[in-house]
Amino acid sequence: MRRPMPSSIRASACSPLQRLQAAFRLASDAWRRSDLRSSPSPSSSSSASQTPWLIDPPPDWLDTEALTALMLTLPGADGRPAQWQVAVRDGIPLRAVPPQWRWPGLSEPVPLVRVRAPRARAQSLAPELRPCARPGMVGTATAVMRSADGGQSRLLTCAHVAIPSMEGAFGAEVDITHADAVGRATVMDWRPAPSAGPAHCTMDAAVLAIDDGLARDLRRDGAWLPTGVGGPPLADMAVTLRSHRYIQPGVLKVFWSGPVDVPGLTPGQTDYFLDQAIGYCCASRGGDSGSAIWDAQDRLMGMHLAGLDGVPAGEPNAIYGPIAPVLDTFKLRPWLRSGEVAQVDVAGASTVVTRGTTGGATRTGSAPSAGGALSEAEIVACTLWGEARNQGEEGLRAVACVIANRWRTVYRRQRSAQDVCLDPYQFSCWLKNDPNLPRMLAVARQPDATYRTALALADELLSRTLVDITRGARHYYATSLRQPPNWARGKYPCVVIGDHLFFNDIA
């Protein structure tokens, strides 16, 4: 049964571009799930079935065997309307894709521009980073980083360069050579995370631990350090690719979503499905994976991930991943040419606003001391009950995923699920002036059926077995709100579950 689109996405509060971007993201999600279902992994279908289909069934033309990419042109300063392009594999007639697609979230059908483009292939041949477990695989570092929580020295690059397989390897060693600096790093964290079948991800990144001495040596050559962190991408924006071997000019073109193949990893199969990337024109070559993408002011925009071979002149032939989600996920700050660390507001002051009863306008008070009388599982269960008791099990699970994602990423420096739930002004059910607070605390003493379901989900969360159905979301709000909260302006949801819109691109 097709899930109806929330009225908030169709509402006038959303611009035509935002609605088109939402349709693009949901179509990408449906295609990604179709790719998962076609994977030979025996557990892929079960994994996909645990996540709700937002476009169910997906349109016939979203066929993993026929398409190579979905592309949506970036917003331009000249006001040109966005254009949706569907890249069709060689040998498949263009007429296999309809000229337009009707989606219930838009008042008019979406025109589909059908083009030819090959699948993305990751590039890893440059002589700067050499993973010890993969002889012959080499790539490029993006930037020298410092961890936001403890100040440790880090180096950033692509995951497919640094890790020995898509399952990764904590502690894998990587040799580093840059000018007079030579050293060895170890893999600390990476995305995409291990999954059944092709991983779905919004980044291809690995964090390498390096000692402070090597970090100083790498920073000594300030010419390869950025001046800051750039802003949002725009159509026809001039950028440069900063490889260890050369500097190549480029021009931004489209939002990009599609499968990526890493040479030699799993021949004939999709290695991961990349979403929310940027397609651009640049003469990249093998070995450029991990290279920094800078804007005209030498500010860090992202990291180069893959190239597209054989595309017509003027069409996007390279892909990069935006840097902001990487800094946010791994809690990193880049060292700058000035000798300082970039002051990026990762934690921010954004607030989770959920139930329309508080509306986000009269929030006063903080997490009550009553929470201290409950166990961690009970605090999580109370939060799920207070935030989503009328949303069914799926809605309860979605809120649990937000708590898990905040806990996993140490968002706002909260290091436990309990701390995430009781973080002041974050979950409105814990506010002292919320009229439902006494009811929520009472239900923990006399559980109803919904609370028992919430408690079971809390056990999954605390045992780290909870399956994320929100695509990494850490923020959401209820469609019953009269106006979206300030932090949601200019953003569009990554997934819609029940009466809640979820977001995974809020700092």
How far, in Å, CA of 300 to CA of 29, rounded?
28
pLDDT given for residue 212 in this prediction = 92
Q: What is the pLDDT of residues 393-402, one digit of tens each?
A: 999 999 999 9
On whether the pTM is more than 0.85, the answer is no
How far, in Å, CA of 252 to CA of 320, rounded?
10
Identity of the amino acid at 32: R
Identity of the amino acid at 179: A
How far, in Å, CA of 175 to CA of 173, rounded?
7
Spatial contact of 91 and 119, defined as CB atoms under 8 Å apart = no
Spatial contact of 256 and 268, defined as CB atoms under 8 Å apart = no
Spatial contact of 256 and 69, defined as CB atoms under 8 Å apart = yes
Q: What is the pLDDT of residues 68-97, one digit of tens each?
A: 888 888 876 566 777 889 998 888 889 889
By CB atoms closer than 10 A (0-12, 13-18, 19+), residue 245 is: middle
pLDDT given for residue 23 in this prediction = 79
pLDDT given for residue 344 in this prediction = 66
Tell me if the bond preceding 192 is cis, omega within 30° of 0. Answer: yes
Low-confidence ranges of the chain (pLDDT < 70): 1-14, 33-57, 76-79, 104-106, 121-127, 150, 164-168, 193-199, 264-268, 344-373
In order of 3, 88, 222, 466, the CA distances from 474 in angstroms are 22, 34, 35, 15
Spatial contact of 396 and 454, defined as CB atoms under 8 Å apart = yes
How far, in Å, CA of 397 to CA of 460, rounded?
10
**Please, what is the end-to-end C-alpha distance for the chain in angstroms?**
34
**Residue 481, SS3 per DSSP:** coil
How far, in Å, CA of 327 to CA of 411, rounded?
12
Q: What share of the chain is helix, strand, coil (3-state, %, to 5)?
A: 25, 25, 50
pLDDT given for residue 104 in this prediction = 65
